[in-house]
Amino acid sequence: MKIYCVTHKGINGIEKLGLIPFGVGKNKFPEHYKTEQEGQNISEKNYNYSETSFHYWYWKNILKETDEKKWFGMCQYRRYFIKYEYKDQIDNTTGKQGYFPNIRNFAELENLIQKVPSNKWKNYDIILCEPWSVHVSSKMKIIKRGVKSILRDPLIIFMKSRQNIRLHFEMFHGYDNLKKAINELPHKDKKDFVDYIESNTNLSGHCMFYSNNPSLINKFYSDLFDWLFKCEKVFGLDLQGYDTQRIYSFLTERYMPFWFNKYSKVKYWPWIYCDITKF
């Protein structure tokens, strides 16, 4: 199974994990890296697209060469799908999502990573990250960052069941920004997407997946980038600050699990956070 590991900085050791190191952005990378400077790309937009610019590169340069029913996918230099047997050892509590204790080196991490298809994936099209809760632990944070959301629904302060994906985005990436982006969705998805972000309090994030269905992935990428390029006309590419600088990545993170759950058979899989730059 070919698995790309996406990073915005050169890291010696990714190849030790049995992964294909892939560099995004303007930094210099080791010669053995694949980078988004090759082939069709939107590398000039990486500042605002983050890892989503990799997905465009993959769509335009690799996907068409991928065999049907052969598993493929990607991870990030700090997040990895791991073997199911380690699922119960992961801490996914608020603020510690994906925490796995005592990984000291590349060899220990390599032993954990899911690099071959699992028998549990039979009859599924997509493997996504095990969802994590978007509940906000502090009422003061909701009051400070979610005033407009509170005016729409005061119960979000008191009821965790109201603290959904929509609120999470509005608090951290702009209340009006989400509404504007939703307006650019095609009619076939607009209502369903709103229902999805309002009915879910857990998010399968991080913009990574495994799949064995390149035809499906082609349809997903076509819909995704058609939407994001329309959103560019609304937000532009001169964006600054954490809330909005990578808005196209944050939008992708919400749209990806929505789209796959609507149009395919999804299997959620354990993942961990592990910053290999600390080894």
The pTM (predicted TM-score) of the whole model is 0.96
Q: Taking all residues of the chain, what is their mean pLDDT, rounded to a whole number?
A: 95
Phi-psi map region of 177: left, alpha, beta (phi>0 left; psi -120 to 50 alpha): alpha
Domain boundaries, the chain: 2-131+204-278
Phi-psi map region of 39: left, alpha, beta (phi>0 left; psi -120 to 50 alpha): left
Given this model, what pLDDT does residue 92 score?
Answer: 83
pLDDT digits (tens, 9 = 90+) for 93-152: 777 889 998 899 999 999 999 999 999 999 999 999 999 999 988 889 899 889 999 999
Given this model, what pLDDT does residue 102 score?
Answer: 87
The average pLDDT across 53-80 equals 95
Distance of alpha carbon 12 from alpha carbon 106, whole angstroms: 10
Quickly state the pLDDT bin for 79 (edges 50, 70, 90): very high
The average pLDDT across 34-61 equals 97
pLDDT digits (tens, 9 = 90+) for 195-217: 999 999 999 999 999 999 999 99
Quickly state the pLDDT bin for 165 (edges 50, 70, 90): very high
Percentage of the chain modeled with pLDDT above 90: 91
Strands (E) in 110-151, as ranges, are: 126-129, 132-133
